[in-house]
Structure 1
Amino acid sequence: MRASIVTIPPLAFRGNNPYHNAFLTLLDSIFACLVVAPAVVAYWRSAWELMGIYVYPNDNMKTAMVSTAIGFVGHAVANFGQFFFQKAFHPDRHRILFYVISRTYTLIYAVVCVNGWRGPWYLLDKYTEMEFNTVVVTLVVAVVALVVMRALRNISGAPFAIVNDTVDGYFEIISMFRVPLEVESQYYCCF
């Protein structure tokens, strides 16, 4: 999901004056820390709580399973459907339709992201105890999994790390494992 103003290139506001660029960077950082970060936290907290109120409020196991399913299925649909969405909805062809679909997609994907964390978190709470050994084992397994997938750097986030998107497609989901077709095809020779 990319910037709201689709037609403006990323470096359009950058000028030749280094002081102007530094000032814009400072304003951008202040805005990100004081407005965007609290808004994101408020959204996550409210979406998390609303799922608890409206989806099986009296049964933690069912609400956890529904949240996990929404998270996994939603992420799979977004990942496998990203190329279809990019071809079918482009701002140069049907601008109004693009804005309606892209904003609806953003709202749905935001719910999917919250549920992708909420469900497994509730399941972890349900099946593990709050003891030191359990916490250490869970932490070690998670860190080892992230290291194996070369994704440990993804645990840093705002306000410690602010990364701007550099992908052109609104629906494109960045993946570390994307490889060119000729590299990918050599793994199919094993069969």
Structure 2
Amino acid sequence: MPPNANDNILAETERVFEKVPSEEPCYDEENEVENECSCDETSYGDAVFSTFVVAPLVVSVWRGTWGIMELHSHLFPYAQIYLLGIIIHACFALGRAYLLERSEGAWSGTNGGAGRWLWERILSKFYTYVFTLSCIMHWRGGWGLLDTVVAKIVPNDRDPHRPILYAAFTLTFYISITFLRSARNLLASPFFLFTDGKEPTYIFTTRFKKTVSNYFLVEPPP
């Protein structure tokens, strides 16, 4: 019986890394075995790979897509793509449990097989691409709306007050996101590194989470 995706979807997925001397092997608590590699070496390898391989590729995809939108700006007005990015994100957030559940057992399940496995891989890549587009539209739309507001307040782009206004907006937004305890969301590649898979693809964290692992069902006495 496949696991209930609704129970797994909001489980804690972050791993806590502790600094281990490089000469000592890592200990896998889940399997109760010692790995050959050291945690330090693994962390350094991830950092180097993220910085010099993953980050440039991520930036290239984002900047290339952004540039296409700039070339056809009449097809991507700021307000519309900003709202569309929000709608797509919300739809994926609501449907991620279903997407994860249907992807379980694509190869080894009762109805699984090579055909279904291949279809799930194609679907996951399409999902990722659409999600990427929604993120870029959200960023570009918000960025464009901010530029529009600044241009309305200070029309002259040579006005020395325009940089001050940008700085005021930036400081205000940063203070706000810090008070909301969400400043970590400013981090991106190369600080975050994920590999493709069912859960990393369909599961993404949201601000409001609840888990059932810390609660127990107590039946009242008869």
- TM-score w.r.t. the length of structure 2 is 0.63
Aligned to 1:47: 65
Which protein has the larger Cα radius of gyration, Structure 1 or Structure 2? 2
Aligned-partner SS, 1:56: helix
Equivalent pair of 1:63/1:119 in contact (CA under 8 Å): yes
Q: CA, structure 1 residues 67+87, in 2 after alignment: closer, same or farther (shift >3 Å)?
A: same
Equivalent position amino acid for 1:16 in 2 = N
Aligned to 1:78: 92
Quote the RMSD (CA, aligned, Å). Answer: 3.1
Equivalent pair of 1:52/1:63 in contact (CA under 8 Å): no
Equivalent position amino acid for 1:171 in 2 = Y
Aligned to 2:133: 111
Q: Which runs of 5+ in 2 are unaligned?
A: 1-29, 215-222
Aligned to 2:4: none
**Quick one: percent identity of the two aligned structures?**
20
Q: Distance in 1 between matches of 2:179 and 2:42?
A: 38
Equivalent pair of 2:96/2:202 in contact (CA under 8 Å): yes
Q: CA, structure 1 residues 103+168, in 2 after alignment: closer, same or farther (shift >3 Å)?
A: closer
Q: CA, structure 1 residues 42+138, in 2 after alignment: closer, same or farther (shift >3 Å)?
A: same
Q: Higher RCO, 1 or 2 (CA under 8 Å, sep at least 6)?
A: 1
Picking from 59, 68, 77, the partner of 1:63 is: 77
Q: Distance in 2 between matches of 1:111 and 1:162?
A: 19
Q: Which runs of 5+ in 1 are unaligned?
A: 1-10, 184-191
Aligned-partner SS, 2:74: coil
Number of residues of Structure 1 aligned to a counterpart in Structure 2: 165
Q: By percentage of residues, which structure has more helix? A: 1
Shift of 1:15: 6.2
Q: CA, structure 1 residues 145+43, in 2 after alignment: closer, same or farther (shift >3 Å)?
A: same
Bigger shift: residues 116-125 or 94-103: 94-103
- TM-score w.r.t. the length of structure 1 is 0.71
Matched, 1:16 2:42: no
- Show structure 1 runs of 4+ deviating over 6 A: none
Matched, 1:31 2:49: yes
